[in-house]
Each structure stands twice: as structure tokens, then as C-alpha cells.
Structure 1
Amino acid sequence: MNENQKLAQFILENVGGKENVESATHCMTRLRLKLKDNSKANRANLDNHPGIISTQVAEGKLQVIIGTQVGDVYEEFIKLVHVVEETSKEETKDKNVLNRFAALITRIVVPSLGVLCACGIIAGVNSILLSTGVITSGDGTNILLSNLGNACLTFFPVILGYTSATAFGMDPFIGMILGAFMIYPGMAQSINAGDPLFTLFAGTPIEMPVFKTFLGIPIIFPATGYTSTVIPIMMVNFLASKIEKILKEVLPRVTRQFMVPFFTILFAGIVGVLLVGPISMIIQNLLQAGLNSLISTSKILAFAVITLIYQPLVIFGLHWPLITLGIMEFGSLGNSLIVASIFPASFAHMAACFAVFLKSKDIKTKNIAFPAFLSACFCIIEPSIYGVTLPVKKRFGFCMIGGLVGGLILALSNSPMYAISMGVTGVMSFINPNVPGIGGLVWAVIACIAAMLVTFTLTFVTFQETKEVK
């Protein structure tokens, strides 16, 4: 039995056995368990296991914070309990709408982060090679790296088509087809060709020209299509999941294999373009307009709030809606100040962990602090939060201050990220691929160093040996 199997077995024994487990899923560092009775979980035993950073109950679920190897432990845990990854049915049991929404966004967005960040790093490498003259714009290397780096965000609705379909408990391949339909090459140009027949909401921020109709119904389609969007495919798949469920109940069993996908794709696709898509784009545009209005009114206040709330939200796993707003910003603007402003947070945690590692004389504390430092280098800050900073609350406060300083430097210098990337390699994403120079990279380095210096100094100077750190 390997270490992951042993840890999975230990967790199962201390959550009341497989009879007490309704469902399981995981994010980047946490095993999230929906238990029939949370009181049966022996959190004291779990917290004291060397392979577990901490536990907490949030959104009605027991969260076992393990670290970056959580995926391997999850696979072994699933084999023991014989449950599948939770679907939307479990979500409906939580009466708190905010909790349900945050959990839903988490389950839809988190699975895509690995490939999203990988493509962001590739885009960053391409920008560095261009800026340093190693390659030139338009040569073969540039074309391949540029398209590879942009592929994930460009076709993001297809990826979200899969993850949102899974979250809504429907056939994920139907979700992918609907996502592909929403961004089908040339459809936006074909629908919006010629002169508009009329314009809906003329003179408003949601003005919509109509060029074509479907059986007399206006077809409202964004000029750039739904490429890189987030909300539309989520709403279309929510509708599709309801259609699929009804069809499975009314169609003869012998025809379900092909008739359920046929009618689901047909109805959800057409209604999605005619109704759901325009509504979702209105919502997305209003959210973006509201955010832009707040930023234009008081940039310092807006980004101070964003940078300050981000780390506390991570504690409860509720930070993904904020990340989703950043992804929407990428889709509409091609860059994001929101994601940029929270970028220095991981560097603040790196500094706190390194300060504790240097100052502490306790071997166990050092053994927690250094791996947490390494995780923070790749923007995985949960090990730092639960193992090093949160147990001594002033350290967590110092990280918030450091993150605030770094975030405001980037916001006030107007240095957005041009690709989604994480950790130390993420600084490459501050290079604007469309403008010569590395001004954004310089500001990113300054911001991250400032965040680290502030946090390291405060943590180092005020350090006291404590047994609070597990």
C-alpha cells in the first residue's frame, strides 16, 4: 500500500466510513467531502496526521486540505468509497444560494485551470522571445507559440461546455458540442453580415443590432462571437440539462441513445442563440460595466477591496467567482487587472513561509514552512495559509498587507496580465505581446518584491516560536 492509499484509508476511517460519504470531489489542494453526518468526522485525528495540513467545514462539506498531491489521494479515496464526483443533485440540498453559486463556479472553473495556466506560460514565453529579439513577429516559431498560447482561452466555451455539463449532471459531450456551436468559425460574421434590420436597446451600453432573424425572431449575436466568454455556455448548458432530463423521462428507452442528444442539441442550441446567449451577454456586459465604473470612480478603493478580500476568500474556497470575473475581463479586453492585482498574494505567502523557516528552531515547523514556501512559488497558497500563516493570525494579516501593497502597485501602474499564469513563471504574463518593451514585467517584479519585502520584514521581526503551527 503506497502513501496515497494509506492516507485515503486513514481519511475514510476518520470521516465515519464509506456509509457516511455521499460524494467527493477535489480542487487544487483540497479533498471536498459531502458527508451524511459531519459530526461523525474525527477532525482532531485528521488535523494531526502529517499528510494533512488542516480540515474545515465550508459550504456544508468537510474540506481536507492536503496539498498539491490531492488528486492522487482523491483517486485512491474514490476506489475505497465507490462514489462518483458530486453532481448538481447534491448542490440543491444546500439552501444557501450564495454557497451553492460559489460551489458551482468552483466545480466548473477549477478543472480548467491547469491547461489555462499552461497556455498562459506558453504565451508568456512567446512574449519574452519576441521582446528579446530571439524570434520575430510572423515567423514559424512565433505563429506556433502564439496560437498554442491563445488556444485555451479562445476555445474556452468548449472546455467550460464539458465542465459545466458535468456540474449540471448532463452528458458532457453534448455540453462540448454546444460550446463548439457557440464559437463556430465564421458564424458571427455570417449572422452579422450586411446592414442591420433594426437595433435593440439603441443608445445604451447593451445596444444590439439585428442583422438576421430565425422564423421572424431576431438573432442577436455578438460581433466577435462567444469566443473566450464564460457565462453564456454555463447558462446554455443549464438549460440543456433540464431539456435532457425531460427527454430521458418521455422518450422510449430504445431511442434515447441518439434522440436525447438530437433534441437536446437542437433545442438548447437554437434557444441558446436566440434567448440565453443574449441574456447572458447582457449580464456579463453589465457586470463588466459595473466593475469598470467602480474602478473609474476610485481605482485605489476598488483594487484595495479586491486584494484584501481575495486571501480570506481562499480560506473558505470562495475565491473562484472573483477569478471568474478576471477570466471574463480577459475575454472582453484581452487582459486583466483583477487577476494582476491578486497575483502578488502568493509572493507574500512565499515570504512569510521563508521567514518562519529561517527564524523557527522547531524542526516540525520548518518541515511545514519550507514545503509551503515551495507550493506558494507556484501560486498554491493553501499549505501556507493552513500550515503557517492562519494558525498565527498576525502572519496572515501580514500576508494581506503585503498582497495589498503589491496589488495596488500593479493596479495604479496600470499593469494588467495578458495571459493567465501562476507563481514565479507568471511574471512573464505581464509582457504585452502587442507592444514592444517589458514595462509590465518590470512593474510586476517591483510589485512582487514589494509584497515579499513587506511580508518578510513584518513576519521576521515579530516572529515568536509557537506551538500553534502544526
Structure 2
Amino acid sequence: MAENRDIAKEVIEAIGGEENIASMAHCATRLRIMVHDKEKIDQERIENTDKVKGAFFNSGQYQIIFGTGTVNRIYEEVEKLGIAGSSKEEVKEQGKKQGNMFQRMIRTFGDVFVPIIPVLVATGLFMGLRGLITHPEVLSWFGLVPEDISANFILFTQVLTDTAFAFLPALVAWSAFRVFGGSPVIGIVLGLMLVNPALPNAYAVGNGSAEALMMFGFIPVLGYQGSVLPAFFIGFLGAKLERALRKRIPEALDLILTPFLTLLIMILLGLFAIGPIFHIVEEAILAGTVAVLDLPFGIAGLLIGFFHQIVVVTGVHHIFNFLEIQLLETRGVNAFNAIITCAIAAQGAACLAVGLKTKDKKLKALALPSSFSAFLGITEPAIFGVNLRYMKPFIMGLIGGAAGGFFASLVKLEGTGMAVTVLPGTLLYLNEQIVFYIVANLISISVAFALTWTIGFNDKMQQELKKAA
């Protein structure tokens, strides 16, 4: 296998040389490159380079998949060769005008929500661990019953599990200000204003133990604990307003007037207009999501399990982050997670079948690590590096995802968090659901693997692909 330095040289040459690179950055698994001329890229040479697990254009960027860890080492070698790196934000900025309006909108939505996902992942894991520790059967192993658990311990776990969602508007507004060019600290304060304890608590209003304040006799004013859309649009408009004010206010007064006017105008709009309007929109979207997930006879799992990875291929799957956050905020559980776990596991199984069945050493070396990556929740190497190349394994994976999703929907599997799936996702089901979670994954894996092994792949397909290239 080639050295990382040689691979870096090969990649630079294959994309048209240093002069064809406008900017380059990397994420957890991929090099993200903006090029001047797409026609200069030698796609076949890129795909045949050692350690490359796939390459494609997405969101205006040429993305080369190397996988977790490997991409960092390749990027270091690229920098040593004199290619100046850019931040992911700079690469994204150059790619913002790429794609249609819907793709650009979803990409921007993703830019806002992706940075706050880690804390929501941690919150979900805390919920799962609390469910395990407080489960009656687990307590019985130590001769305890639920009544033996200290009230102080429960309070401590509530700090871990409730904080992120209680102050979710602050996280969303902070991220929106950051993405749209405002001062993030103003976003944080605006978000905190939306959940100020002086306002009627949204959860209390929802369960009838408190009433919203009626301003001017017809505008309901309340806190927006757990809300997403009001904070998103307040952050979007607030950042635009702040930038406009800075251009017009004299520098001597900027420090005082800009934050003052931004906070004053935006909290008035937030509580009296943006909040009430988008809260209604948010409830309608949630109702639609719940209606789909509550479809009888496992239909939701069948549909979502089949189509989820197709949406991932299109690059607009970040919209699901918003839906999952809404589910967790309102229901405390996430039925969507269990279904997409099945879709991800199935693609990993299809890739594994290719890796075990092929006699080609390069394909085997690509497929086996890619399948493991999918079982950890990252399907891009498996999809773009293997399954989509031969198409049939990808389709077999879709069928496997539908089968597992169908079962997950039938037994009403619901995770305690989001953004972790398959093996790491087990931590979200450390309760009476754990057996069903394992079975759902096994169904997805078994169906996808069996179909790919029997009718979804053979080495003749690889030979035909090489001839076609």
C-alpha cells in the first residue's frame, strides 16, 4: 500500500494539479475541495488511488472519502506539499451558490444544526444510561428497588438530561448568528431571553398548569423551551439586522447602540411575531411527522427504512436533524432513530457481503473497512465507495433497511437521543427495548447481506465496470 505522502501527491495530480485547487479542507471522513475546473478531474484515477473509498461532487464541493483518521493524515501530507488549507467554513462559503435553491436552503439549515448535535448526542446517552441504572431489573441485581434511589441522584441526572433541551433556543440562536455572520454572543442572549423564567414555561402551558400571557388581547406570549424554528429565524433575522446596523451606526457608538438595538428589536419581534407564527408552523410540522411515524402496520418503518439512504445520497438529509430534535423535545423519545439505524446497518451489511464475496484484493480492502464504518453509523464510505458503484448492493441495502425499519415500527422502537446509530446507538436503548433493537438490526443486516451475496454482487460486475470506464 502506498505511503500517505504518495497518496497526497496522486490526489493533487488527479484533480488537475495545485493550480486547479481553489480551496481545500477536511471533515471527519472526507477531503472537501473546491476546484476551478471540474473537467480537469481524473475521476477514474482518483477512485483507483490507495485508501480512497469514493469521490463525488456534493454541495458544490469535490469530496474524496478516506475515512476517519486516515483523512487527517492525508490532509497533513497535502499541506506539507505546499497546498494551503482553508477552513470548512471558507470551503462552504465558496460552495454556497452551488445547487438549486432547495439544496442551498437545506445545506444552510444543516450548517446551523450540525454544531449543536454533539451536546444532544451526549444528552441522549445520559438518558439511556439513566434508564439502565434506574431499570427495576438492573436494580434488583444489587438488591434494590426504584424507591431506594436518592432524590438528589435523580436531580443530578435531570441536570444532565434536561439542560440542553431547556436552553435549546439559546443553542440554535447562537449557531444561527454564527452561520449568518452576526455576533454569536448576541444570539446566545436572545435565545436565553426566549426561555427567561419570567415568561410562562412552554411545558407548563402545554399541560395546562400555566397560561400564556395575552398581549394586546390577542397575542399569546410564553417561553419557548425546546422550540427550534422561532430561535432559528430570530437568529437569521437578528444576524442580518446586526450587520445592517453596524454599517450605518458611527464607530464611536457601535459598541453601545448595535447590540442594544439588535436585542431590543429582535426580542420584540421574537415574542410578539416570529415566536407565535413559527411556533404554529413548528407544531404543524411535528404533527405531520408524528402522523407518518404513527402509520399502522409498520408502514412508516417500511418507507423511511427504504428511502432514508437515498436522501443521504442527495445530500439533503440534514433536514432530519430538525425532525429528530422536535421529537425529542416534545415526546422525550425518537422513533425516527430506530428506523434510520436499520437503513444504515443494511448498507453496511451489503458492503460487507461485497467485501467477503469478492476475490479482488483492492475491492476487499475497500469494502471491509467501509462496512465497519457503516456499523459505527457512517455510511458514506460504504455507499459511495462500494454499493453505489455496482448499484445492486445499494438496492439490496435499501430492501434490508425497509425490512428492519418495518419491524422497528411494528414494535414501536424509540431511542432516547439522536445522531448515534447501529453499534453506538445501542446506548440509546438500554431499557426494555434493547432486545427489539438488536433484532431490528439483525433483520436489516441479514436481509441486506443475504440478498447482496446471492443476487446483488459478483466479480463479473466489477470487470464490467472496469470495461465501461
Give TM class, smaller chain. Answer: 0.7 to 0.9
- Alpha-carbon distance, 1:410 to partner: 1.3
**Cα 1:426/1:168, change in 2 over 3 Å:** same
Q: Determine if the alignment matches structure 1 residue 112 to structure 2 residue 111.
A: no
Hey, what does 1:244 align to over in structure 2? 242
Hey, what does 2:189 align to over in structure 1? 177
Aligned mates of 2:308, 2:12 — CA distance in 1: 31
Structure 1 unpaired stretches of 5+: 197-207, 432-437
Question: What's the Cα RMSD here?
Answer: 3.5
Q: Determine if the alignment matches structure 1 residue 126 to structure 2 residue 159.
A: no
Alignment match of 1:452 (pick from 432, 445, 450):
445
Alignment match of 1:365 (pick from 363, 366, 370):
363
Alignment match of 2:387 (pick from 386, 389, 393):
389
Q: Contact 2:51–2:366 (CA<8 Å) still a contact in 1?
A: no
- Alpha-carbon distance, 1:93 to partner: 2.8
Q: Determine if the alignment matches structure 1 residue 305 to structure 2 residue 309.
A: no
Residue range with higher mean Cα deviation, 253-262 or 280-289: 253-262
Hey, what does 2:62 align to over in structure 1? 62
Hey, what does 1:269 align to over in structure 2? 267
Q: C-alpha deviations, 1:224-282, integer Å up to 9, x for none?
A: x3233322211111111210121121011233344322322222222122211112211
Q: Determine if the alignment matches structure 1 residue 467 to structure 2 residue 469.
A: no
Q: Contact 1:191–1:212 (CA<8 Å) still a contact in 2?
A: no
Count of aligned residue pairs for this structure pair: 445
Aligned mates of 1:174, 1:8 — CA distance in 2: 42
- For residues 31-430 of structure 1, the aligned pairs below 5 Å read 31-69=31-69, 72=72, 80-81=83-84, 83-84=86-87, 85-86=89-90, 90=94, 93-94=97-98, 96-131=100-135, 132-133=138-139, 136=146, 137-138=149-150, 142-189=154-201, 210-213=212-215, 216=216, 220-222=220-222, 225-296=223-294, 300-420=298-418, 421-430=420-429
Residue range with higher mean Cα deviation, 97-106 or 419-428: 419-428
- Alpha-carbon distance, 1:164 to partner: 2.1
SS in 2 for 1:63: strand
Aligned mates of 1:172, 1:17 — CA distance in 2: 38
Residue range with higher mean Cα deviation, 287-296 or 11-20: 11-20
Residue range with higher mean Cα deviation, 315-324 or 42-51: 42-51
Aligned mates of 1:121, 1:303 — CA distance in 2: 23
Aligned mates of 1:94, 1:100 — CA distance in 2: 7
- Alpha-carbon distance, 1:149 to partner: 3.8
- Alpha-carbon distance, 1:295 to partner: 4.5
The one-letter code of the counterpart of 2:241 is I
Residue range with higher mean Cα deviation, 276-285 or 59-68: 59-68
Q: C-alpha deviations, 1:85-122, integer Å up to 9, x for none?
A: 14986576347221111211221222333333233223
Structure 2 unpaired stretches of 5+: none
Q: C-alpha deviations, 1:358-377, integer Å up to 9, x for none?
A: 32333222221221122122
State the percentage of identical aligned residues. 27
- Alpha-carbon distance, 1:50 to partner: 2.1
Aligned mates of 1:103, 1:264 — CA distance in 2: 26
SS in 1 for 2:328: helix
Aligned mates of 2:255, 2:5 — CA distance in 1: 37
Q: Contact 2:56–2:64 (CA<8 Å) still a contact in 1?
A: yes
SS in 2 for 1:390: helix
- Alpha-carbon distance, 1:6 to partner: 7.4
Aligned mates of 1:341, 1:461 — CA distance in 2: 25
SS in 2 for 1:165: helix
**Cα 1:67/1:318, change in 2 over 3 Å:** farther
Q: C-alpha deviations, 1:99-147, integer Å up to 9, x for none?
A: 1112112212223333332332232222112221168544555544453
**Cα 1:242/1:341, change in 2 over 3 Å:** same
Q: C-alpha deviations, 1:42-80, integer Å up to 9, x for none?
A: 434432332332221233332333322487479757994
TM-score (norm 1): 0.82
Aligned mates of 1:190, 1:286 — CA distance in 2: 16
Aligned mates of 2:315, 2:11 — CA distance in 1: 20
Q: Contact 1:356–1:366 (CA<8 Å) still a contact in 2?
A: yes
Q: C-alpha deviations, 1:402-446, integer Å up to 9, x for none?
A: 111111111121221122233313123235xxxxxx432222111
SS in 1 for 2:462: coil
Q: Contact 1:369–1:384 (CA<8 Å) still a contact in 2?
A: yes
TM-score (norm 2): 0.82
Aligned mates of 2:375, 2:235 — CA distance in 1: 36
**Cα 1:89/1:219, change in 2 over 3 Å:** farther
SS in 1 for 2:316: coil
**Cα 1:321/1:217, change in 2 over 3 Å:** same
Q: Contact 1:330–1:336 (CA<8 Å) still a contact in 2?
A: yes
Aligned mates of 2:183, 2:18 — CA distance in 1: 27
Residue range with higher mean Cα deviation, 308-317 or 38-47: 38-47
**Cα 1:26/1:248, change in 2 over 3 Å:** farther
**Cα 1:246/1:87, change in 2 over 3 Å:** farther
Higher helix share: 2
Aligned mates of 2:462, 2:202 — CA distance in 1: 66
Q: C-alpha deviations, 1:338-364, integer Å up to 9, x for none?
A: 222111122223322333333233322
Hey, what does 1:204 align to over in structure 2? none
Q: Contact 2:355–2:363 (CA<8 Å) still a contact in 1?
A: yes
SS in 1 for 2:383: helix
Q: C-alpha deviations, 1:368-407, integer Å up to 9, x for none?
A: 1221122122211111112222222111111111111111
Q: Contact 2:246–2:258 (CA<8 Å) still a contact in 1?
A: yes
Q: Contact 1:60–1:94 (CA<8 Å) still a contact in 2?
A: yes
The one-letter code of the counterpart of 2:425 is G
Residue range with higher mean Cα deviation, 126-135 or 412-421: 126-135
